[in-house]
Structure 1
Amino acid sequence: MSTLEEHIDVGVPIDTVWESLHRVEDYPRFVEGVREGRTEEDGRAHLDVEAGGQVRELEAEVSDRKGEGVMEWRTTGAPELVGSFSLQPINKNRTRVQARLEYDPGTVRETLGGPKGFAQANAIERLVRSDLEHFRECVEQGR
């Protein structure tokens, strides 16, 4: 498994960031490739993701440790992905969002397509960074 960690500072209070991360239906606005998202029963999320010219369905289990400012998630099928968002208040109007993603590069390539090896790791890193920047824009603009 490979691990990727990225963070970004967002100019809104921690509660606003927390609520925004839990609105799965808004994910198409800031997560590349997500065409539709919805929250389902029992702490599950469903995403329709376009990758490699095909739309694939991903299901994830989501769990919260709100008191610690941590939202964890795990896909329930292929590709096996595990991740978390950790929120840390910088001050009353700024929040640091730490994203962590654990994945098997080979499985991600087989399931979602894309380049091999180091090029894939760089592509995933750029994608996560870009998604975080889009998230910041959406949350700061109140969308």
Structure 2
Amino acid sequence: MHSVEETIGIAVPVSTAYNQWTQFTVFPRFMTVVKKVDQVRPALTTWTVAAGPVRREFQAEIVEQEPDSHVVWRSLERHPAHRGEVTFRPTAAGGTEMTVRIRIEPRGVTGVLAGVPGLADRVVRDELRHFKEYIEGLGEETGAWRGTIRDGRVRPEEPKPRRSRVARWPVG
């Protein structure tokens, strides 16, 4: 198992960084290895990635997602299997600290590439830098999905408290 962890500071608020990150189909605009992303359902995506001559398609399930906090996913394929997490934390300056953690189980040809010392770390670091440049350049998100996912299932939105129409007597 190979693990990667990279953190980057971004000069936009947490909600802006998080909202843009949830726009998976836009990833090819700023990530060099991501060629296409289809959002099949809120918790299921299909990715096409390519690095050099190696091209691969896989599905990923979003296992957990909490607005302005984190997104956790796992690949549905076993070669190579991977799990990941991205967290969003506010900084004192009003920006965002983003941390990406990925665990890759090296199997097959693409697994061998993941096992090359420093390669996966370098790719994650570079792609995070591309995300930073993209969102800071825009200054605002291109869209947002503010839903919550638990155990791979979209949770219903919490009902907003309704204001009572019953007159309240002054307390007193």
- TM-score tier, shorter chain, comes to 0.7 to 0.9
**Residue matched to 2:63:** 63
Deviations along 1:68-124, one digit per CA (max 9) or x if unpaired, are 7010011000320100001100046300001001012x32x6236638x5xx13111
| Equivalent residue letter for 1:138 | Y
| Equivalent residue letter for 1:125 | D
**What is the Cα-based RMSD across aligned positions, in Å?**
2.2
Separation (CA, whole Å) in 2 of partners of 1:134 and 1:81:
22
Aligned to 1:93, the other structure's residue is in SS state coil
Query: Shift of the alpha carbon at 1:126?
Result: 0.9
Separation (CA, whole Å) in 2 of partners of 1:16 and 1:36:
22
- The answer on whether the counterparts of 1:34 and 1:48 sit within 8 Å (CA) in structure 2 is yes
- TM-score normalized with structure 1 length: 0.85
| Runs of 4+ off more than 6 Å | none
Larger-Rg structure: 2
Question: Kindly, what percent of the aligned residue pairs are identical?
Answer: 25
- The answer on whether the counterparts of 1:51 and 1:113 sit within 8 Å (CA) in structure 2 is no
Query: Shift of the alpha carbon at 1:58?
Result: 1.3
Residue 132 of structure 1 pairs with residue 128 of structure 2: yes
Aligned to 1:132, the other structure's residue is in SS state helix
The answer for unaligned runs of 5 or more in structure 2 is 143-172
**Residue matched to 1:27:** 27
Higher helix share: 1
Pair 1:45–1:64, CA change in 2 (3 A) = same
Query: Shift of the alpha carbon at 1:33?
Result: 1.6
- The answer on whether the counterparts of 1:88 and 1:96 sit within 8 Å (CA) in structure 2 is yes
Paired residues, number = 138
